[in-house]
């Protein structure tokens, strides 16, 4: 073999080796994931990891992505979350849970499941929790892109707010009203949409505080947004009650017909598409 032929062969081998080294690694197989919250389920799906099972939620499933429609549901019970035997039948390697169900996490970890407890309680926390889930799922780059997109959408949805009406956001547990505070998901979404929450002096680590009808009248909100909470079959009756409750008739909200009822779970449960809810609240409830 001549020197020229040896050189050409060596060069060809070098090029081939370089191409092999530069070739992208095979796509990593998606892990088996149980997502117990709408936020975790929607986020993992958008990162290319479709959960094998998701948690059932109160307040409806309207914020689940349509692609999750046929994914099996697990009933969640306080304080442990899903039934461990039922969860194990789906053989998840990762469980995306929340602090709500943290007492059940111990047993899940004993079965070899990796458990990450995550659920943002504010709009500002959405991007950070998105990135955290991405790291757990091995989808850090995709999660960073999604988080940046969400931040951009929220910035656009909150731009140009000129009016800040005085608002009470009420969680109606049956016919018992609770004020949703600034440290609740719904309260923060309404605040981001431009509402001034009339919750000064009310505190609760859960984000909701019992409020009497007398206090509602005394604070005299311009807008009342009610989120009925209960069994699905009771929601229509609760919605009708809060739309016409006589206890609040002396408020500006009732006088100007600005009592609104949100029967979905968009003000109850965090989820990646929060910018859409902010825009909806601005347009339909706050008119700002």
% of the chain beyond a pLDDT of 90: 73
Residue ranges in the chain whose pLDDT is less than 50: 2-26
Q: Are 72 and 64 in contact (CB under 8 A)?
A: no
Q: What is the CATH number of domain 166-286?
A: 3.40.50.1980
Residues of the chain with CATH 3.40.50.1980: 33-157, 166-286
Q: What is the pLDDT of residue 62?
A: 55
Q: What is the pLDDT of residue 3?
A: 35
Q: What is the pLDDT of residue 59?
A: 52
Which CB contacts under 8 angstroms, 24+ apart, belong to 280-285?
281/189, 281/190, 281/193, 281/195, 281/225, 282/157, 282/161, 282/193, 282/194, 284/260, 285/190, 285/193, 285/195, 285/223, 285/225, 285/258, 285/260
Q: What is the pLDDT of residue 198?
A: 97
Classify 33-157 by CATH class: alpha beta
Q: What is this structure's pTM?
A: 0.84
Q: What is the pLDDT of residue 79?
A: 86
Q: What is the pLDDT of residue 23?
A: 44
Tell me whether residue 31 is exposed, middle or buried, using C-beta atoms within 10 angstroms of its C-beta: 0 to 12, 13 to 18, 19 or more.
middle
Tens-place pLDDT, residues 192-248: 999 999 999 999 999 999 999 999 999 999 999 999 987 778 888 999 999 989 999
d(CA 181, CA 198): 9
């Amino acid at each position: 073999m001549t020197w020229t032929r040896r050189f050409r062969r060596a060069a060809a081998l070098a090029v081939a080796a370089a191409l092999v080294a530069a070739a992208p690694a095979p796509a990593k197989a998606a892990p088996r994931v149980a997502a117990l919250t709408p936020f975790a389920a929607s986020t993992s799906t958008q990162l290319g990891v479709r959960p094998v099972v998701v948690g059932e939620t109160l307040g409806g499933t309207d914020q689940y992505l349509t692609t999750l429609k046929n994914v099996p549901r697990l009933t969640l019970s306080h304080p442990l979350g899903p039934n461990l035997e039922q969860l194990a039948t789906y053989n998840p390697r990762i469980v995306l849970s929340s602090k709500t169900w943290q007492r059940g996490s111990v047993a899940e970890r004993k079965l070899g499941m990796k458990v990450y407890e995550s659920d943002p309680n504010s709009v500002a926390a959405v991007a950070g929790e998105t990135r955290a889930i991405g790291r757990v799922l091995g989808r850090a780059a995709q999660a960073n892109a999604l988080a940046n997109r969400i931040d951009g959408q929220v910035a656009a949805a909150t731009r140009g707010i000129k009016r800040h009406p005085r608002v009470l956001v009420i969680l109606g547990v049956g016919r018992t009203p609770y004020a949703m505070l600034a440290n609740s998901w719904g309260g923060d979404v309404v605040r981001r949409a431009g509402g001034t929450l009339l919750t000064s002096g009310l505190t609760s680590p859960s984000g909701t505080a019992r409020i009497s009808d007398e206090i509602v009248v005394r604070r005299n909100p311009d807008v009342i947004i009610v989120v009925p909470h209960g069994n699905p079959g009771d929601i229509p009756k609760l919605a009708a009650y809060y739309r016409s409750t006589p206890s609040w008739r002396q408020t500006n909200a009732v006088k100007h017909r600005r009592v609104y009822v949100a029967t979905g779970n968009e003000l109850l449960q965090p989820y990646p598409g929060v910018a859409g809810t902010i825009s909806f609240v601005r347009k339909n409830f706050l008119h700002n």
